[in-house]
Amino acid sequence: MAAEEGSAPVRLWDAPTRLVHWAMALLIPYSWWTATHDQLERHRLSGYILLGLLLFRLIWGAIGSGPSRFATFVRGPGGVVRYLRGESGAAPPGHNPLGGWSVLAMLAALAAQIGLGLFAVDEDGLESGPLSYLIDFDTARWLAGIHHKLFWVIVALVALHIGAILFYLARGRNLTAAMVTGRMRAGADTEAPAMAPLWRAALAATIAAAIAWFVASGLRF
Amino acid sequence: MRQISFAALLAAGAILLAAAVDPHVAIPARQMGMKQVGRTFKGINDQLHAAAPDAKALKEGTEQLDKLAKQVPGWFPAGSGPDSGVKTSAKASIWTEPADFHAKAVALAAATHALAEGAKHSGDPAVLTPLVRQVGGACKACHTTYKTQDS
């Protein structure tokens, strides 16, 4: 993916993908801050929004615009090895095979973190996730311990993600700008990625919000 | 369920009496007691969040919590602090500032008593939730000052 000079900008990241990305980038640190400052009401709310965003992103990974789909950017181990050896040849714009796994790892860690938080309870038995009533105190405390530790796994994955962005920035490619504007320069022969219509995003958002609401209400209507 | 937890409570009490100030006994007994407080309080909170709270369970749970809260000062015998060599989250200031520590313990017992009294007359979450918050605040007030925060 060379050829920046004289190339035309193509639409890469659609608005829903960018919105979800930046909302997560804000809410993950916010979740940490509220958890460490005894603001568990806000911590729960932040978690519920993140759950909705995550669910949306998973649906969007199936029915969203081309570059946002898992089928576009998730490659098997063979694909990753070929990419690392520089044998992949021309690739569509967007996540490279290694970056695709970075995205999956971050989404998986976030999913696990939200799942643990739903069942966690604090040491006093006062503050708790909306599903903690389904399990006993000792199990909920155990899950809360993992919830604390897993945060640092997320920090490590995000550090790797930012490290990769800085690596490309040093080589003259600004990936952050593409995530802000949604556009990036590509070779003239690059096919413009297919963009999903807005109604599909509305549908995915409605489904994601409904599931997140149901879970936040403790699986009760 | 309640019988088991009561047996655990008796065991914790018996261990504590036998312990005098052996930190190898006093500290695990304290941790057991505090876990029992957490279990009991979670049971109360689960009821208050339930679609149809069980008034009898709330009455029993809040009574048990009140009993446990009154034992809290006894769980901190001199010699069971961080200098004992046994791992504990209890800070040394518990024993260097006993007046404030005991004032906080009294505040906790007052809050659990008010909650138990409230649950005698009502199983309504609208009535009990503010009282539960008072208890939670009393837990937190002491933990913020006198407990080291592990991750």
Domains, chain A = 12-216 (1.20.950)
Tell me what percent of the residues of chain A surpass a pLDDT of 70: 97
**Cβ-Cβ contacts under 8 Å for B142 (sequence gap 6 or more):** B101, B104, B105, B108
* Stretch B46-73: mean pLDDT: 94
* Stretch A188-197: mean pLDDT: 85
pLDDT digits (tens, 9 = 90+) for B27-40: 999 999 999 999 99
pLDDT digits (tens, 9 = 90+) for A142-163: 999 999 999 999 999 999 999 9
Does the distance separating the beta carbons of A218 and B42 come in below 8 Å?
A: no
For residues A83 and A75, the answer to whether their CB atoms sit within 8 Å is: yes
For residues A50 and A31, the answer to whether their CB atoms sit within 8 Å is: yes
CATH superfamily of B2-146: Cytochrome c/b562 (1.20.120.10)
Does the distance separating the beta carbons of B45 and A38 come in below 8 Å?
A: no
Distance from CA of A11 to the nearest CA of B (A): 43
Is the model's pLDDT at B2 over the cut of 80? no
Tally Cβ neighbours within 10 Å of residue A8: 11
Chain B residues touching A138 at Cβ < 8 A: 35, 39
Q: How far apart are the first and last CA of chain A?
A: 50
Does the distance separating the beta carbons of A125 and B49 come in below 8 Å?
A: no
pLDDT at A3: 43
More confident position, A69 or B149: A69
How far apart are alpha carbons A30 and A198 in whole angstroms? Answer: 29
Q: What angle do CA B125, A219, A25 make, to 5 degrees?
A: 105
How far apart are alpha carbons B132 and B49 in whole angstroms? Answer: 12
Domain layout of chain B by residue ranges: 2-146
How far apart are alpha carbons B121 and A108 in whole angstroms? Answer: 48
pLDDT band at residue A132 using 50, 70 and 90 as cut-offs: very high
Is the model's pLDDT at B11 over the cut of 70? no
Q: Write the single-letter amino acid at B24.
A: H
Please tell me which of the candidates A124, A128, A137 has its beta carbon nearest to residue B140.
A124
Distance from CA of A46 to the nearest CA of B (A): 20
pLDDT digits (tens, 9 = 90+) for A85-117: 988 777 778 999 999 999 999 999 999 999 999
ipTM: 0.76
Please tell me whether residue A8 adopts helix, strand or coil conformation: strand
pLDDT digits (tens, 9 = 90+) for B74-90: 999 999 999 998 999 99
DSSP secondary structure, A119-162, as one string? H-B-TTS-SB-TTGGGS-HHHHHHHHHHHHHHHHHHHHHHHHHH
Please tell me which of the candidates B37, B42, B135 has its beta carbon nearest to residue A121.
B42
For residues B139 and A126, the answer to whether their CB atoms sit within 8 Å is: yes
DSSP symbol at A1: -
pLDDT band at residue A190 using 50, 70 and 90 as cut-offs: confident
For residues B81 and B26, the answer to whether their CB atoms sit within 8 Å is: no
Chain A residues touching B136 at Cβ < 8 A: 124, 126-127
DSSP symbol at B123: -
Is the model's pLDDT at A1 over the cut of 60? no
